[in-house]
Structure 1
Amino acid sequence: MKNILLAILLLVTSVASAQTKVGGVVVDEDDRPVAFANLLFKDSYEGTITDDNGHFYMESDGSHKTLVVSFIGYENVEIPLTAKVTYDMKVKLKEAAQQLDEIVLVGGKQPKKNNPAVEILKKIWAKKRENGLRKFKQYAFKKYEKVEFDLNTIDSALMKKKIFKGLEFVFDDLDTSRITGKTYLPIFLNETFSKVYGDNLLDEEKEDILGNKNSGFDNNQAIIAFVADLYQEYDIYDNYLKFFDKSFTSPLSRTGVDTYNYALRDSAFIDNKWCYNIVYYPRRKNELTFKGDFWVNDTTYAIKNINLEVTKSANINWVKEIYIEQDFEVVNDSVFLLKRDYMMSDFSFQKKEESRGMYGKRTTVFDDYVFDQEKPKEFYKQESNPYDPVVLNRDSTFWQNNRLETLNKDEKGIYQLLDTLKTVPKFKSYYNLVSILGSGYVEIDKWNMDIGSVYDVFGYNQAEGPRLRIGARSYFGENDLWRVEGYTAYGFTDQKFKHGVSGKILLDRKNRLIVSGGNRRDIEQLGVSLTATNDVLGRSIASSSLVTVGANNRLTNINLSKFNIEMEPITNVRFGIGGTFRTLSSALPDDFSLDYIDPDSPTGVSSEIRQFDFNALMIYTPGKRTIGYGVERKGMNDDYSTLLLSYTKGVDVVFDSDFSYSKLQFSYSQPWQIGGFGRLFSTLEMGKTFNTVPLGLLNVVPGNQTFFSNYGTFPNLDFYEFVTDTYVALHLQHNFNGRLFSRVPLLRKLNLREIIGLRGVWGDLSDENIALSMPATINTPLRAPSEKIYYEYSFGIGNIFKILRIDFNFRGNYLDAPDARPFSITGTFGFDF
């Protein structure tokens, strides 16, 4: 959410060298737009097709005199181009008495059988694993990447807005997009030069970053994280391409014939290789698809050039356009290697043609391929430091020698522009506002400190009433080797101060050896997750829910101290050991009890638990990618699984603790991309507590008495409705991303998204544990779902007004329980693509 919010907020803050530019709209005789009409510069292989609304824009480095427009069922139109730039064209097509043969006509529904384009596509599928880097045992190449952000659709009205008063100089140099024809102003540029090594036999690859340069934002954590998360790697030969958390069907996919129309448009020599030109466009609207064309070699069936443009009807928010272009280099008769990869996204509030927005562009150039030079496996385990001061401070000579694509005039000016802007107070104010709302923290540079999070300032619960919280953390940069943070809070009903403080330090960067510790004294809602870790500064649901269902009065006073050692000797495999000491007692004794039988107490009953635990933890996250090397790294992807194994040993001889016990827990979370049918997220949790412990140390099946959807909880359960010492739980949630609603005519234009969920838990509770907590059962009956699996199911509608999701939750059984809730409605807000 924060990354998307950052992109939206950035929306408010030379003439190109092409020889021929055309743009406009194609309509029929009744002035209705013609979607996916075919446009081609005559006697060339440069063309495009119109979008859903009949609009087009195309430019070429060459000089062309005629534009040919065609669509099946209509007469071809040849339009003389009397000027190099021709905008606002209105091309009207007339119905044809008979089809002409001079130009291959593209448009309408294309057949799947006896279609030469589909036959070529089948040969691409057969050959795709034989092309490119896969043909060699080892490979190495140079890689240059630049990421750029631009304000677009700049006109005189925008320049005169008050927000730019005093900043008019930024508009001195504007450029024009070769993809859309819109004016734009570059505002951010990041360059990276690296060398990549790979071994197909060992299935290993590493990238050594040798230089990194960025235009003025190198110390801003919010912007850096957004840039890193925005563009991820993709392979056009894959069946599905993932952008902005959505999976788009690739035009080269084996399922493409059910998703796209294909037509063979042309054939020609490109780089002395005979290639076929195939045009493709979606069979249905509102699906996650592209339109465009590609050139493919006639013998290797390797792609020579491809462009992909997301259709405007695609069910994706805040992004008006996505355009991708890849060029492949002919190495020899049988090898085509990626030479240049270009991707442009147009972020905008609306998808209207004239709406303003922001371009995000990534250009990656590959060169100097070397093959079959074997390196030992240890070589791939040696990590370089992309944040080495030498890497970050390369001189101009380095960049002149290693830029595989030169900067244009406007790109060169970004560095000077940002240096100037940072001295303007008004710009600094805008910059700070974006940073605060994006990261949640107010940066105090002169103190090397962040104040926040601003989203946690106000809270409410029944024990504290209204609650105010203020926190701070040290922050010298995104790669800090140590961090200290803390907060204080005050409840106006209980009139008590709470606090939390923690510190951590990275002692060994190679093995990521981290030592941490801290203390927290606060009010917490225990039992909000089955597999919980004792995070010193963990934010509790107790202080974040203004409105709840039923009596949300089962709250706990907690005083937690923790010391922990963590290391990551193998990438994405973390081990941790440590100890925690905590005292637990009810925050509302008249409504909720943690009492247990204690023969050593004068009354025979104790109301407070004192407990020292030894903890051992292993977390495995295969496929997770991060940026930074500091004590707190940032994730770059969310498509990895998480396996967690935890062992807890309660020791009664340390700090006069009350109980000796053992607890073993395991969880496995996995996102699954189900082709074009959306995304399934699954979580399996298992655990068992050995020996006898009171209610405060048992595993509570996580209920949810708020009106907010919270994955991993059971929204129709109250807190402490089920308590276990042995449990198995499964959560399944599938988001179809509008796949079903897009086929319903009345719902298609709303871009709604359908979500279904199924969750269940089985658990047991020993008679000994029930007997130990007998005093607490006066107002907290102890019951486990041991008779049968407790389950719930839900149906949700997402993307309402682009920000709202509503879930309708149904309780499957145990309806005889007192005050059981058979049905509930929960929801959540968020800026999702």
Structure 2
Amino acid sequence: MVFDAQGNPVPFANVVFAGSSEGTITNEDGRFYLQSDNTYDALKVTFVGFKAKEVSLPQRVNYDLEITLEEETESLSEVVVYSGKQPKKNNPAIDILRKIWANKRSNGLNQFDQYAYDKYEKVEFDLNTIDSSLINSKIFNKMEFIFDQMDTSRITGKTYLPIFINERSSEVFGDNILDKEKEELKGNRNSGFSTNQTLIAFIQELYNEFNIYDNYLKFFDKSFVSPLSTTGIDTYNYVLADSSYIKDKWCYNIIYYPRRSNELTFKGDFWVNDTTWAIKEINLQVNKSANINWVKEIYIEQEYDVLNDSVFLITRDYFLSDFALRKKEGSRGVYGKRTTLYDNYVFDQPKQEDFYDERVTRYNEQVYTQPDSFWDENRMEPLSKDEKGVYVMLDSLQKVPKFQAFYNVSSAMVSGYYEWDKANLDIGPLFSAFGFNDVEGLRLRGGARTYFDQNDPWRLEGFGAYGFKDKKFKFGLSGKVLLDHKARLIVSGGYRQDVEQIAASLTTSTDVLGRNLASSSLVTVGNNDQLTSIKLANFAIEAEFFKNFKVRSDISYRTLESASPTFNLDYYTDFTQTEVKSQIKQTELVLSGIFEPGKHTSGYGVERTVTNEWFPTIYFGYTKGVEGLFDSDFDYEKLQFSYRQPWRMGGLGTFSSTIEAGKTFGEVPLGLLSVVPGNQNLFSIYGTFPQLNYYEFVTDTYATLHLEHNFGGRLFGRIPFLRKLNLREIIGFRGAWGSISEENQLINASNIDYIAPNEEPYYEYSVGVGNILKVLRIDFNFRGNYLDTPDARSFGVTGALEFSF
């Protein structure tokens, strides 16, 4: 540790090996850890306002050093001791920062029309804080050999055990004129799970790349304020600490640290060149009080090299994160480490635009099973002895029955399916095994799907369920096959016979195995008896001719009737309103499209896994009800549109917005109308109205709006007694307008009054608190109008379990 003469810790002091540029800075408590592959005899410790101090290193490994710095005494009248908040005016560090802003667009790859480079990426996960109690634990009985690979972190000084490693070699092409980039994967391998693209894609999204010059650095679903941000002056304190030559380039050293706690900020330092104002080296360590879950430590290093005497390009990026349930110093966790190396830059060699739009449509197993000779040639730095040992250790570990059982349980908890490998079946979803509602009572459900690997060209799936109150058996079966990889031409079909709450969504699902949360709930407000017995047969053809733009054509036949004696879907079949029918038989032709720009997926089979979430979803659909076809009852047309967009708002948090609109042309009964989705659950469900009852508003023309903003703790973090709780503030607004024609009101013979919010738009608003105990969210919902409607609920509380960083 580093102290001043009074015994107070000195945060953000520079600590380097004497005679080198290898170093670090102390944390808020004055602690540091420094490691090198080279051997040095001394440390040099410096901080503005104190005398530089060299400390000898008598051994190759030195622990628990205590270093005391003396204040500068020669010219006290001229010395400024920097502590706490730094001035924004007359601060040379901020003058340099402004020059970085002015030159950032003329640095790096932005200077060139086109670029290409080789990239090597290594991601490793390690179990850390290894001690004798863990080694001797019964959990690792007959697996003790794994501890032969233990090492010590050069960043934290903690012991760790590598448990997984993934290597990736690729070539990147970019065009700044077209604003497009493409990465061609040449090889990928990992220890134990070499061909699992879902796992590989998860790792890629977990450690997505970022540009240090951007205002916000986005990872772990958070937006951290960059120390080079144009808003950095209001977020960080900056101190000009040193200047020196780094590989014949004169550079300035600037230390930075947050002005406030609990915000998504860093501490660290960077070296910047004095002519190009480009970053030469930078390290970033997330502030320990930052409002982020499950991550105890984040440390980043980036190095840049000089090309043609003036162009600084990134050559190395190192990212370490410490995942842990608790942030206490001695708590055990898992390190996630990513090292990315860049080489062989080539510029201004243009390629055709369709080169960047071309998609990889088929799984190439060779990419995931490259031989050792490929990695010897393409690996930009050799693996350490311990990293090499991970491959051998994981191969041995998978032969241990206890490890295989642990893997199976973990996989089932994540995916919701139990893998029955011998039969090539997945049993589940496990989380749907139990349910309850007023019609079925206790409901038991079992299901399975075929699964050979994630690139299956076809898949069958089915379920069976039984309600102990209605004593009825429900079932469903579906299948799909991928006919053409390039166009992603898929043919699917299936049949379902079930009980469902059809008033919980404006867009009718054509998924024969789909079932919404409102259909089965243990906790509701009021009765949950307005359920429908549905029999649905569907056949569909879909294709994706352009990336992330899917078109689909369906033909479906369904019958609808009430599942409860206290609820009905009755309608009149004649003008005199004397004949009533309770069952709806309907054939529909549906043409729909979904556009999701920016969506990332893994796998090449009939089903793919979405690996990111920050992209918009645009849906449009046209439905034609055909009277007489398969004894269908009604002839009508329906248009529907929805647009959902999640937004990252930088330091202000995250924002979600959804717009839905639709219109039905023709005379139809209640079961075919558009019901504004209420929510009588005590769960917060985005896209529904928690203060509306089911079937409270019925329309044939509608428009709805859902807005929600999560401040991410920005407000609570400034309140002293709330700061340490890391709570997050959430506000929401929901609105709906709709109307219903006289013809559609007259056909109604049910026990429901058709009321539409056509006099004025209906609205609700809510305030909520998230991240309670890191997993719980509570919303307080207020109804804005239509308070005189029978059984109107003016206020309610809903909650949800949320697992997020």
TM-score (norm 2): 0.96
Partner of 1:447: 423
Following superposition, the deviation at residue 35 of structure 1 comes to: 4.2
Provide closer, same or farther for how the CA distance between residues 492 and 27 of structure 1 changes in structure 2, counting only shifts above 3 A. farther
Aligned to 1:257: 233
Which amino acid counterpart does residue 657 of structure 1 have in structure 2?
A: S
Alpha-carbon shift at residue 273 of structure 1 (Å): 1.6
CA distance in 1, matches of 2:713, 2:7: 30
Note the C-alpha offset of 1:76.
6.3
- Please say if 1:459 is aligned against 2:435: yes
- The question of whether the paired residues in 2 share the 8 Å contact of 1:38 and 1:105 is answered with no
* 1:407 maps to 2:383: yes
SS at match of 1:148: strand
Could you say if the C-alpha distance between residues 77 and 330 of structure 1 is closer, same or farther in structure 2, counting changes exceeding 3 Å?
Answer: closer
- Paired residues of 1:57 and 1:179 also in contact (CA < 8 A): yes
1:607 aligns with 2:582: yes
Q: Is the 8 A contact 2:72 2:79 kept in 1?
A: no
2:411 is matched with 435
Equivalent pair of 1:71/1:106 in contact (CA under 8 Å): no
Cα distance in structure 2, aligned partners of 1:26 and 1:799 = 35
Q: Provide closer, same or farther for how the CA distance between residues 177 and 106 of structure 1 changes in structure 2, counting only shifts above 3 A.
A: farther
| Correspondence 1:512-551 to 2 at 5 A | 512-551=488-527
3-state SS of 2:328 partner = coil
The 1:255–1:665 alpha-carbon spacing in structure 2 relative to 1, beyond 3 Å, is same
Q: CA contact under 8 A between 1:523 and 1:556: conserved in structure 2?
A: yes
Q: Deviations over 1:594-625 (max 9, x none)?
A: 00011399961110111111111111111112
Which of 630, 644, 649 is equivalent to 2:624? Answer: 649
CA 1:543/1:818 → structure 2, altered by over 3 Å: closer, same or farther? Answer: closer
Query: Percent of aligned pairs with the same residue?
Result: 60
C-alpha separation between the residues in 1 aligned to 2:67 and 2:534?
Answer: 72
1:743 pairs with 2:715:
no
Q: Is the CA contact (8 Å cut-off) linking 2:518 and 2:679 kept in structure 1?
A: no
Q: In structure 2, what residue type is equivalent to 1:748?
A: R
Amino acid at match of 2:753: P
Contact in 2 for aligned 1:38/1:107 (Cα 8 Å): no
| Secondary structure in structure 2 of the residue aligned to 1:59 | coil
Runs of 5+ consecutive residues of structure 1 not aligned to the other structure: 1-24
Structure 1 residue aligned with 2:185: 209
**Distance of aligned partners of 1:266 and 1:387 in 2 relative to their CA distance in 1, 3 Å threshold:** farther
Task: Give the counterpart letter for 2:755 in structure 1.
Answer: R
Q: Distance in 2 between matches of 1:478 and 1:120?
A: 51
Distance verdict in 2 for CA 1:781–1:92, change over 3 Å = farther
Q: Does 1:187 align with 2:163?
A: yes
Q: RMSD of the TM alignment (CA)?
A: 2.2
Match of 1:14 in 2: none
The residue type equivalent to 1:607 in the other structure is: S
CA spacing shift, 1:511–1:104, aligned 2, 3 Å? farther
Distance 1:33 1:746, change over 3 A: farther
Matches within 5 A, 1:110-121: 110-121=86-97
Q: Does 1:685 align with 2:657?
A: no
Alpha carbons of structure 1 residues 40 and 408: separation in structure 2 relative to 1, 3 Å = closer
- What is the CA-CA distance between 1:159 and the residue it aligns to? 0.2
User: Structure 2 residue aligned with 1:671, among 646, 649, 668?
Assistant: 646
**1:261, 1:283 within 8 Å by CA — same for their partners in 2?**
yes
Residue of structure 1 in register with 2:596 after alignment: 621
Amino acid at match of 2:802: G
Report the alpha carbon displacement of residue 691 of structure 1 after superposing the two structures with TM: 1.0
Quick one: distance in 2 between partners of 1:269 and 1:763? 69
Partner residue, 2:260: 284
Question: Could you say which residue in structure 1 is the equivalent of 2:696?
Answer: 721
Task: Give yes or no for the alignment of 1:813 onto 2:785.
Answer: yes
Hey, what's the Cα distance between the residues in 2 that align with 1:282 and 1:737? Answer: 17
Deviation at 1:91, TM superposition (A): 4.3
| Equivalent position SS for 1:87 | coil
Q: 1:293 aligns with which of 269, 276, 286?
A: 269
Q: Relative to 1, partners in 2 of residues 1:80 and 1:445: Cα closer, same or farther, differing over 3 Å?
A: same
Cα distance between partner residues in 1 of 2:15 and 2:86: 17
Q: Which residue of 2 aligns with 1:13?
A: none
Which of the numbers 734, 759, 775 marks the counterpart of 1:803?
Answer: 775
Question: Closer, same or farther in 2 for the Cα pair 1:95/1:755, shift >3 Å?
Answer: farther
Tell me how far apart the structure 1 counterparts of residues 223 and 710 of structure 2 sit (CA, whole Å): 12
More displaced stretch, 221-230 vs 302-311 = 221-230
Cα gap change, 1:657 to 1:827, in 2 (>3 Å): same
- Corresponding letter in the other structure for 2:617: T
Deviation at 1:26, TM superposition (A): 4.2
> C-alpha offsets along residues 398-430 of structure 1, whole Å, 9 cap, x if unaligned?
111111121111111111111111111111111
Q: 1:799 to 1:94 in 2, by over 3 A?
A: farther
8 Å Cα contact 1:141/1:197 also seen in 2: yes
- Superposed counterparts of 1:107-146, under 5 Å: 107-146=83-122
- Compute the displacement of 1:385 (Å): 5.8
How far does residue 101 in structure 1 lie from its aligned partner after superposition? Answer: 10
- 1:570 matched residue in structure 2: 546
Determine helix, strand or coil for the equivalent of 2:598. coil
Q: Deviation at 1:462?
A: 0.7
Shift of 1:245: 1.0
Residue 453 of structure 2 corresponds to residue 473 of structure 1: no
Larger CA deviation: 46-55 vs 497-506: 46-55
Contact 1:692 1:769 in 2 (8 A): yes
User: How big is each residue's C-alpha offset from its partner over 1:226-273, in whole Å with a ceiling of 9 and x where there is no partner?
Assistant: 324311121111111111111100111111111111111112222222
Aligned to 2:240, the other structure's residue is in SS state strand
Q: Between Structure 1 and Structure 2, how many residues are aligned?
A: 805
- Could you tell me how far apart the structure 2 residues matched to 1:455 and 1:601 are? 49
Alignment of 1:369-384 (within 5 A): 369-384=345-360
Preserved CA contact (<8 Å) 2:197 2:602:
no
Q: CA deviation at 1:102?
A: 12
Counterpart contact for 1:72–1:107, Cα < 8 Å: no
Check the 8 A contact 2:149/2:390 in 1, yes or no.
no
Q: Which amino acid aligns with 2:758?
A: S
In the aligned structure 2, how far is the partner of 1:763 from the partner of 1:30?
A: 71
| Alignment partners' CA distance in 1, 2:117 and 2:71 | 52
**Normalising by the residue count of structure 1, what TM-score does the alignment of the two structures yield?**
0.93
Q: Distance in 2 between matches of 1:612 and 1:264?
A: 73
User: Could you tell me how far 1:83 is from its partner in structure 2?
Assistant: 2.6
Deviation at 1:379, TM superposition (A): 2.2
* CA distance, structure 2, for counterparts of residue 771 and residue 718 of structure 1: 22
Q: Provide, for residues 464-504 of structure 1, a one-character-per-residue CA deviation record: whole Å limited to 9, x for no partner.
A: 00001111111111121211111111100111111111111
In 2 relative to 1, CA 660–217 (structure 1 residues): closer, same or farther, beyond 3 Å? same
Q: Does 1:485 align with 2:461?
A: yes
Output the CA distance in 2 between the equivalents of 1:66 and 1:306: 23
The structural deviation recorded for 1:75 is: 7.0
The secondary structure found in structure 1 opposite 2:473 is strand
Query: Aligned partners of 1:731 and 1:398: how far apart in 2?
Result: 51
Write out per-residue CA displacement over residues 679-708 of structure 1, whole angstroms, 9 at most, x where no aligned residue: 011111111111111111111111111111
Specify which of 560, 563, 567 is matched with residue 592 of structure 1: 567
1:70–1:106: 8 Å Cα contact kept in structure 2? no
Equivalent pair of 1:50/1:56 in contact (CA under 8 Å): yes
Q: Deviation at 1:814?
A: 0.8
What are the within-5 Å matches in structure 2 for residues 297-376 of structure 1?
297-376=273-352
Residue 781 of structure 1 is matched in structure 2 by 753
Shift of the alpha carbon at 1:33? 5.0
Q: Does 1:793 align with 2:769?
A: no
SS of 2:146 mapped into structure 1? helix
CA distance in 1, matches of 2:17, 2:358: 51
Q: Which residue does 2:244 correspond to in 1?
A: 268
> Structure 1 CA distance, aligned partners of 2:629 and 2:184?
48
Q: Matches of 1:201 and 1:540 in 2, distance apart?
A: 45
Q: Secondary structure at the match of 1:55?
A: coil
Aligned CA distance change for structure 1 residues 508 and 447 (closer, same or farther; 3 Å)? same
Say which SS state the counterpart of residue 410 (structure 1) adopts.
helix
Pairwise CA distance, 1:97: 7.3
How far off its partner does 1:36 sit? 3.7
Q: Does residue 239 of the first structure (1) align with residue 211 of the second (2)?
A: no
Q: Name stretches of at least 5 consecutive residues in structure 2 with no aligned partner.
A: none
